Chains A and B, each alone.
Chain A
Amino acid sequence: MGAFAGKTVLVTGGSTGIGNAAARRFLATGARVIVTGTRASAADYAGTDGDLAGLEYHQLDQGDLAAVAAFDPGVAQLHALVVSGAKVAYKRAEFIPDTFADVLATNLTGPMALAMKFRAALAAAKGSIVFVGSVASFKGTIGQPAYSASKGGLLTLTRTLGQALGGEGIRVNLVAPGLVRSKMTAITWEHPDRLAATERQVPLGRIGEPDDIAGPIIFLASDAARYVTGTSLVIDGGLSA
């Protein structure tokens, strides 16, 4: 309670899913929370799993470098930058070079651009970055070459920025969720047989919920993790243990 009172947090992809769960938790601890999403306005998220009440919403395509450059949410000091926005393409589309490049732009180049854009504001607050990676940061995903390459890249980016920004007092970490119930994974959990097959493989016996990932994100961004940098935390119910 109040751990982030008076602090400012930015969550990209904070309109739905994991990003929204993290944004709501930051809000509950007293933060000013800015979120981005791809839709024109907060009202456009009516009927999704996102709850934007109390959050400052901005439209941003984080894969568009010009849009990232023009993005101005009005922050002089930023205590946490959470990059949760991401995309994935199904039906073998990621084997098409244009689609591959598009996924990389959103999932890897965009996060780097955001980190550099807010570097000074993060340094001013001795803040931290939390990238949302994936278990695909560590292993191949046969149908998604772009998604896994982008998430693998995000892991090494986390390590490199952890080294490069440590001297400025900026910590950089990554959470690596397993299968979590969100818009992006509906293809798996909306199908009862696929869901049951997946849950049999998870030692804790269930797929993750966005809030299962939000807790660890808040931890990594908080003072409780003030000596943690360049690391990754897998949150997958034991699937990869």
Chain B
Amino acid sequence: MNGLNNGSWARGKSVLVTGGTQGIGKAVAEQFLALGAKVTITGTRTRIECYDEPPEGVTYLQADLTWPEARAEIAAHIDALDVLVNNAGRGSANEYEQEEFEHVIDSNLNAVMDLSVRLHPLLKATKGSIVNVGSLASFLALKETPAYTASKAGLLGLTRALGDKWAPDGVRVNLVAPGFIATRMTEGARTNPEREKKLMRAIPMQRWGEPDEIASAILFLASPAASYITGQSLAIDGGLMLR
């Protein structure tokens, strides 16, 4: 095992990526597929064809993960699992409205807990691992999105608690914390030159991150090269949090 870029460890492994149709989740699915893994993704639309350029060669499950029934259905559908990537998440424009606040927490935190608990027996059987997709909001306040911030900070705490709880089973649980990544979620800022300029001044590496750059860190944390890492978080932000 030479660690990086030698992906033989992933061949034939079963991987579930929630929210795998676009952005970071899609990049994760494609990197695992390229290494020969069997990849299942979830998305909210009826069929995978409803997305522009979805990943090819994956099993698609339609699921709104804020519904407990949908999570139960996913768990029932999956019979083997080596890697769970909890990537699906959302923010809202009105997070100071209580209903919206709760909906975001449901999506970004409650759904992750429930799905992880439901799939834990399968991960225990393979000594698999979980990678949660946090955010710089796991560490910093984003004042316009209190629910997103609280949910991602909560996800960091959940990562630590589950990492400790399931370590005796050989199941590792870690989190990646992406900074500003060129995805649909940041399209508003990327198409506004003034806002973009301001953001870039805050990033030592002076550029947006790409979904592939988060995916490669997720694959690392899921790999045997990270076999002694659990309950941890890894910031992938071009140095953003340094300032």
Report which A residues bind B (CB closer than 8 A): 1-3, 25, 28-29, 159-160, 162-163, 166-167, 171, 178, 203-205, 208-209, 212-216, 218-219, 222-231, 233-238, 240-241
Contact = CB atoms under 8 A, between A and B. Distances in A.
B73 interface: no
Contact of A241 (B3, B204, B228, B231): B231
B230 A203 contact: yes
B54 interface: no
Contacts of A209: 228
A137 to B, nearest CB: 13
B217 A225 contact: yes
Contacts of B3: 25, 29, 214-215, 218-219
Which 9 A-B residue pairs are closest in the complex by CB-CB distance? A241-B231, A166-B204, A215-B225, A203-B167, A212-B228, A224-B216, A227-B213, A3-B5, A238-B230
Nearest to B5: A3
A238 B217 contact: no
Nearest to B229: A235
A233 B168 contact: no
B82 interface: no
Interface residues of B, number: 45
A228 B228 contact: no
Interface string B210-243: 1001101101100111111111101111110111
A31 B5 CA distance: 14
A226 B232 CA distance: 19
Nearest to B167: A203
Given A235-B229, A241-B232, 10 more contacts: A29-B2, A162-B204, A203-B167, A205-B167, A216-B225, A219-B4, A226-B213, A227-B214, A228-B213, A228-B217
Interface of B: 2-6, 159-160, 163-164, 167-168, 170, 172, 179, 203-206, 209-210, 213-214, 216-217, 219-220, 223-232, 234-239, 241-243
Contacts of A218: 2-4, 225
Contacts of A215: 3-4, 223-227
Contacts of A228: 213, 217, 234-237
Contact of A234 (B4, B214, B232): B232
Given A166-B205, A216-B225, A203 B231 contact: yes
A229 B239 contact: yes
Given A3-B5, A166-B204, A241-B232, A216 B167 contact: no
A227 B231 contact: no
Interface centre among B5, B172, B228 (most CB of A within 10 A): B228
A36 to B, nearest CB: 22
Nearest to B215: A224
B2 A238 contact: no
A204 B174 CA distance: 13
Interface centre among A3, A167, A203, A235 (most CB of B within 10 A): A203
A233 B163 contact: no
A163 B204 contact: yes
Given A25-B3, A234-B229, A227 B209 contact: yes
Given A203-B168, A224-B220, A230-B242, A3 B4 contact: yes
Contacts of A166: 203-206, 238-239
B225 A230 contact: no
20 contacts: A1-B5, A3-B6, A25-B3, A29-B4, A29-B6, A160-B242, A166-B239, A203-B164, A205-B168, A222-B4, A223-B5, A224-B219, A225-B216, A227-B238, A233-B229, A235-B228, A236-B228, A237-B167, A237-B228, A238-B164
Contacts of B235: 228, 230-231
Contact of A227 (B163, B172, B210, B230): B210
B116 to A, nearest CB: 15
A204 B228 contact: yes
Interface centre among A227, A233, A238 (most CB of B within 10 A): A227
Given A219-B225, A224-B220, A204 B239 contact: no
Contacts of A159: 242
